[in-house]
Amino acid sequence: MYVYDTLSRKKIKFKSIRKNVVYFYTCGPSVYSTPHLGNFRTYVFEDVVKRTLKFLGYEVRHVMNITDIEDKAVRAAKGNLKKLLKITQNNTKVFIRNSNELGILPPDIRPKATRHIKQMVKLIKQLLKNKMAYKDEKGNVFFDVSSFSGYGRLSGTRFKRELGGRVYKDDYYQFEAGDFLLWKAWKKGDGDIYWKTELGKGRPGWHIECSAMSMYYLGEQFDIHMGGIDNVFSHHENEIAQSESVTGSKLANYWIHVRHLLIEGKKMSKSLGNFYTVEDIHRMGYRFDAIRFTLMGEHYRKRLNFTFKGLEECAQELKYCKARFSALKRGRFWKENPVADKRGTDALLEFKKYLENDLDISNAIGVFCSYLRKVEEFIKKKQFGDRNAKRACEVVEKMDSVMGLIEEC
């Protein structure tokens, strides 16, 4: 399989560190609010990557964290720990429910940041010891980006001018360059949201959360790290700096990033009134499988234009495919036709070829749809037998192990 690696900026051949097992880390949501449709484009595609690896015969060890502490969460809870827990627990539930509804396979481990403060403190202490981090007069601990020579390599940004400043914000998604927070010292507005640790009273920064949890569950070096394109800078750039400064080894061998989603050609935003969650769309009368299908409708390195016309077409196509599949399962047919079997084998090979070429799921799904139409032709001409039907079902099931559209949604 070839994948486009953001760090090396080219398609490279995939090879796992361990034989037949892939260690896989994906950045999870910040649960200060409910993840929106755009977030789910990324999560659905991450699911496609994981399913593709399984299709190709790998086992996958998948960790997806839950960010349940960062500036936005503290603001939403107005400095009240009880409220914070209530908000983050509720939104985590919604996130997991939406993931299941969209046919996303659950990760093996779904660690919460607030349960791994100890591991984060340990990392920060090591960075302080190595003189790659420093404490300011208020007790905040910053990572000194000038201490890490590879800083900016992932995003391809030159920082010479901007460097030297400090970024005090710790919002989920922040794009400013400069020394970034590892530990945020407690201040009045934080109320009773803090941890008392060797670093003082406060809480970890967002970036260190992922470095600590990925290292804890997957080791110092793992195979694939994924996230939305918004994560490239600064989150993933910062993760690399933190982790590699401590371990001295490359954090992840492949960095895969998913581009944005547009709604009817426009950026999704609350001010434009086109901001949707998965449940909003479902309430408008669309099935979750059709939503999943639509979210897979474009190559992950291109923006996906989500339109209601497209969603409607996907819903119709899926209805057709499901009906064909159940007819194949139940049907009684005619004389066996070796050409029909050959057609299935060829379709499966073509399907695989698309996935192996930088995970081209939209074209792979195209192969699946035209295969079912071809089968329908054989049936109409009565050139199809019961054993052909059994084989065709196997082909569909194998393809659907990646698509997750026919049986699981």
Nearest to Zn ion of 37, 210 (CB atom): 210
Q: Examine residue 226 and tell whether it contacts Zn ion (CB under 5 A).
A: no
Segment contacting Zn ion by CB under 5 A, of 55-63, 170-178, 205-213, 362-370: 205-213
Smallest distance from Zn ion to CB 27, Å:
3
- Closest CB 92 distance from Zn ion, rounded Å: 16
Q: How far apart are CA 71 and CA 260, in angstroms?
A: 23
Which residue, 210 or 232, is less far from Zn ion as judged by CB? 210
Q: Which is nearer to Zn ion, 207 or 343 (CB)?
A: 207
CB of 211 to Zn ion, least distance (A): 8
Judged by CB under 5 A, which of 210, 240, 364, 399 binds Zn ion? 210
Distance from C-alpha of 254 to C-alpha of 328, rounded to nearest angstrom: 40
Using the minimum distance from each CB to Zn ion, give the nearer residue, 3 or 210. 210
Binding span for Zn ion by CB under 5 A among 204-212, 287-295, 310-318, 322-330: 204-212
DSSP 8-state class, residue 106? P
Nearer to Zn ion, 153 or 322 (CB): 153
- Nearest Cα to Cα of residue 48 among 320, 322, 323, 358: 358
382, with CB counted inside 10 A (0-12, 13-18, 19+), is exposed
The residue behind tokens 């001409």 is 381
Residue for token pair 């399984």: 54
Asked whether position 27 contacts Zn ion by CB under 5 A, the answer is yes
Residue 19: strand, helix, or coil = coil
For residue 235, the minimal CB distance to Zn ion (Å) is 5
CB atoms within 10 A of CB 183: 26
Instruction: Give how many residues touch Zn ion by CB under 5 A.
Output: 2
Q: Smallest gap, in angstroms, from Cβ of residue 325 to Zn ion?
A: 37
Q: Return the number of the residue (197 or 231) whose C-beta is nearest Zn ion.
A: 231
For the CB of residue 67, give the shortest distance to Zn ion in the complex, in Å: 7
Q: How far is the CB of 29 from Zn ion (least distance, A)?
A: 10
b/e code 37-53 from CB counts within 10 Å (16+ = b): bbbbbbbbbbbbbbbbb
Cβ neighbours for 15, distance < 8 A, ≥ 6 positions apart: 253
| Per-residue tokens: 230 | 């918004």
- In angstroms, rounded to a whole number, what is the distance separating the alpha carbons of residues 249 and 405? 39
Q: Is 84 in the site for Zn ion (CB under 5 A)?
A: no
3-state secondary structure of 405: coil
**Pick 45 or 325: Cβ nearer Zn ion:** 45
Contact footprint for Zn ion (CB under 5 A): 27, 210
